[in-house]
Amino acid sequence: MNKSAVIVGAGHNGLVAACLLAKRGVKVTVLERRDVVGGACVTEELIPGFRVSTAAYSFSLFRPEIVKELDLERHGLAWYSKEPRMFVPLPDGRSLYVWRDAARTVEEIRLVDEKDADAWPRWNAFWDEVAGVVRPLVLDPEPPTLAELETELDRRGKSELFRLAIAGSAADTVRRFFRSDAVQGMTASQGIIGTHASVNDPGTAFVMTYHAFGGELVDGAGTWAYVRGGMGGVTQALAACARSLGVRIITGAPASEIVVEGGRATGVRVLGGDEIRADLVFSNADPKRTFLHMLPSGTLSPAFEDRVASIDTRGSVIKVNLALDEVPDFLGMGGNAGPEHAGTIEISPSIDYLQSAFEDAHKGSSSVRPFMEVFIQSVSDPTLAPPGKHVASCFAQYAPAEINPDEWDLMREQAGDAVIDTLAGYAPNLKDAIIHREVLGPPELEARFGLTGGNIFHGEILPGQIFGERLGPRTPVRGLYLCGSGAHPGGGVTGAPGWNAARAALSDIDE
Ligand SMILES: Cc1cc2nc3c(=O)[nH]c(=O)nc-3n(C[C@H](O)[C@H](O)[C@H](O)COP(=O)(O)OP(=O)(O)OC[C@H]3O[C@@H](n4cnc5c(N)ncnc54)[C@H](O)[C@@H]3O)c2cc1C
């Protein structure tokens, strides 16, 4: 095929699109503003010898079709599932594990609450059913609107599923299954990941669903994995695949403008440099950057600009990355690296705890007692830290929404302290073990990764911004495609928006 494409951004979705296009013979150039590829899916050196997944840290949602189509394992992608799935320390000094083996988890939960233990198999069966409904929609080029989906699920006698997995709140869904604070807390937290909403807000059930539709690369719904070498392993494999297909990837090349001639995108101008002309233009940048900052004024209708401007891109995440002298020694545990360090360490003791973390942020400060998920991948992947040392990645919420960088500068270290103090409440040696810490709130996530508002999904994945109401790969400008997480199905390391955009463009060429 004698066609060319230029892609703004070498996030994982831009790279997926690049590979698929190149496989079909399109001559592809990728422009990345940073000096490294990967966007928010990257491994970086925190301090010499300590490497960490700076932003995304956990792998599950990536489409198996892409791994197969691009033969990514041959290009170096390797992952291994977390075991346990979770270690949940509790404020009263007890703790429980969530194992991949459901029967083993039931016995763990039985120590906390008999009835909740009995409910665990029903909970798993519910998510298997939900995954069966959502998975086919992920790569759907024309996903239904929410109203259409509701009607369809009604028709199938599944209106309850629509409420519990999409329209309702995470808290309500969890309460339908469990009654103990501990089990409610550790499950409801999946409804607030990356979102500036409270666990009691309608639509957070869908955030839970979004985090449960993956796992097919491992062993089924909801299983999360680590990538060997950190999340940069995904984008390094994609970049290797792209280069093997002849894709030219230029880093340190911020695009300043998408060139439009006669209503059609014809190329991209690099800041202070050349214009790269192409038959097809893709943007992996988020919708606000793409449509409100990179197109010549007057290109889009005011209605479309308003729609983009109204996308909720508030950030909520504080990422604290640590270099550690030793592993955190959790109360009641042995001190050395053990199963408590191997999976996700979940600090989410109850629904009320999550609600109160949200209320702090709603009042304009960061959470005093943040919700967090902590990963110490160096325990299972020693390539990430010097012998005997460790890296930890703490994904915490909430940062105050819409905070300006100057205000945040005054608040950042205090927010970092709240994360460390909270975790140290469960593992008292933590503070002395810290060699270095990095605190990334929404302004840092925006500056480093180009995520508007620091929103990790290029826009919330809540009703009103999902399925048919999210942007798609085709845009109002002919020849311009949106290939990043701002397009259906949304954020996370799925590869789906990149796949969908490449397929849309290739089918437009074929017509
Ligand atoms: C702290 C954090 C934790 C997360 N945890 C997880 C997790 O554990 N698991 C998971 O699945 N997901 C996680 N996510 C979400 C996930 O990482 C993102 O949704 C996903 O990586 C976005 O991929 P993308 O390719 O669509 O866009 P991005 O990764 O945002 O890539 C866009 C690229 O475009 C570049 N760019 C932007 N503008 C320009 C320009 N003008 N010129 C040139 N280049 C430009 C950017 O520099 C960037 O490289 C997390 C995100 C964050 C921030």
Q: Are residues 430 and 333 in the same domain?
A: yes
Average pLDDT over residues 89-116: 96
Average pLDDT over residues 378-401: 96
Q: Are residues 101 and 192 in the same domain?
A: yes
Whether residue 191 is contained in a domain is answered as yes
Q: Are residues 296 and 337 in the same domain?
A: no
Backbone dihedral angles phi then psi of residue 250, each to the nearest 5 degrees: -115, 115
Helices and strands of the chain, counted as H and E runs: 18, 19
Threshold 0.85, pTM exceeds: yes
Looking from the CA of residue 58, the nearest atom of ligand 1 is 8
Looking from the CA of residue 449, the nearest atom of ligand 1 is 47
Indicate whether 218 pLDDT > 90. Answer: no
Ligand 1 mutation target, pool 395, 493, 499, most atoms within 8 A of CB: 493
Looking from the CA of residue 13, the nearest atom of ligand 1 is 25
Indicate whether 57 pLDDT > 90. Answer: yes
Average pLDDT over residues 139-152: 95
For residue range 192-201, what is the model confidence (pLDDT) as tens digits?
999 999 999 9
What residues contact residue 354 under an 8 Å CB cut-off, 6+ apart?
171, 185, 188, 189, 192, 198, 199, 348, 371
Backbone dihedral angles phi then psi of residue 28, each to the nearest 5 degrees: -115, 135
In whole angstroms, give the CA distance from residue 298 to residue 283: 19
Whether residue 48 is contained in a domain is answered as no
Q: Which of 149, 178, 210 is the last residue of a domain?
A: 210
| Residue 111, CA distances (Å) to 116, 180, 182, 423 in order | 10, 11, 11, 23
**Nearest CA residue ID for atom 7, ligand 1:** 56
Backbone dihedral angles phi then psi of residue 15, each to the nearest 5 degrees: -70, -40
**Nearest CA residue ID for atom 45, ligand 1:** 9
In whole angstroms, give the CA distance from residue 247 to residue 5: 10
Indicate whether 221 pLDDT > 70. Answer: no
Whether residue 335 is contained in a domain is answered as yes
Q: Which residue has the tokens 């691009």?
A: 70
CA of 448 to the centre of ligand 1 (A): 10
Secondary structure string (H, E, C) spanning 43-76? EEEEECCEEEECCCCCECCCCHHHHHHCCCCCCC
Q: What is the pLDDT of residue 490?
A: 98
In whole angstroms, give the CA distance from residue 501 to residue 280: 11
CA of 14 to the centre of ligand 1 (A): 10
Pair 354, 185: CB distance under 8 Å: yes
In whole angstroms, give the CA distance from residue 113 to residue 67: 40
Q: Which of 414, 440, 466 is the last residue of a domain?
A: 440
CA of 330 to the centre of ligand 1 (A): 32
Pocket of ligand 1 (CB under 6 A): 8-14, 31-34, 39-41, 55-58, 61, 254-255, 284-285, 289, 317, 319, 395, 445, 449-451, 456-458, 484-485, 491-493, 497
In whole angstroms, give the CA distance from residue 101 to residue 114: 18
**Nearest CA residue ID for atom 14, ligand 1:** 56
In whole angstroms, give the CA distance from residue 262 to residue 341: 57
Looking from the CA of residue 214, the nearest atom of ligand 1 is 11
CA of 371 to the centre of ligand 1 (A): 22
CATH no. for residue 328?
Answer: 3.30.519
Is the alpha carbon torsion for 172, 174, 177, 181 positive or negative? Answer: negative
Identify the three-state secondary structure at position 209.
helix
Q: Are residues 365 and 334 in the same domain?
A: yes
In whole angstroms, give the CA distance from residue 30 to residue 254: 11
Grade residue 337 by pLDDT with cuts at 50, 70 and 90.
Answer: confident
Indicate whether 365 pLDDT > 80. Answer: yes
Number of domains in the chain: 3
In whole angstroms, give the CA distance from residue 59 to residue 224: 6
CA of 456 to the centre of ligand 1 (A): 7
CA of 446 to the centre of ligand 1 (A): 10
Average pLDDT over residues 365-391: 97
Domain, as residue range, for 364: 316-398+400-440
Q: What percent of the chain has pLDDT over 90?
A: 93
CA of 39 to the centre of ligand 1 (A): 4
Identify the three-state secondary structure at position 321.
strand
Q: Are residues 66 and 132 in the same domain?
A: no
In whole angstroms, give the CA distance from residue 395 to residue 231: 14
Average pLDDT over residues 97-111: 96
Looking from the CA of residue 451, the nearest atom of ligand 1 is 30
Looking from the CA of residue 440, the nearest atom of ligand 1 is 1
Ligand 1 mutation target, pool 33, 44, 257, 483, most atoms within 8 A of CB: 33
Whether residue 163 is contained in a domain is answered as yes
Whether residue 217 is contained in a domain is answered as no
Looking from the CA of residue 484, the nearest atom of ligand 1 is 26
CA of 74 to the centre of ligand 1 (A): 24
**Nearest CA residue ID for atom 31, ligand 1:** 11
CA of 177 to the centre of ligand 1 (A): 34
Q: Which of 351, 344, 68, 44 is nearest to 211 (CA)?
A: 344
What residues contact residue 188 under an 8 Å CB cut-off, 6+ apart?
170, 171, 173, 174, 199, 208, 348, 351, 354
Beta strand ranges found along 67-216 (DSSP E): 79-81, 86-89, 95-98
Q: What is the pLDDT of residue 110?
A: 97
Q: What is the pLDDT of residue 256?
A: 97
Whether residue 262 is contained in a domain is answered as yes
Grade residue 223 by pLDDT with cuts at 50, 70 and 90.
Answer: confident
Q: What is the pLDDT of residue 390?
A: 98
In whole angstroms, give the CA distance from residue 490 to residue 138: 9
Q: Are residues 118 and 24 in the same domain?
A: no
CATH no. for residue 270?
Answer: 3.50.50.60
Strand partners, 433: none
Is the alpha carbon torsion for 315, 404, 301, 21 positive or negative? Answer: negative
Question: Count of alpha carbons within 13 Å of 415, Cβ hemisphere only?
Answer: 34
CA of 200 to the centre of ligand 1 (A): 27
Indicate whether 55 pLDDT > 70. Answer: yes
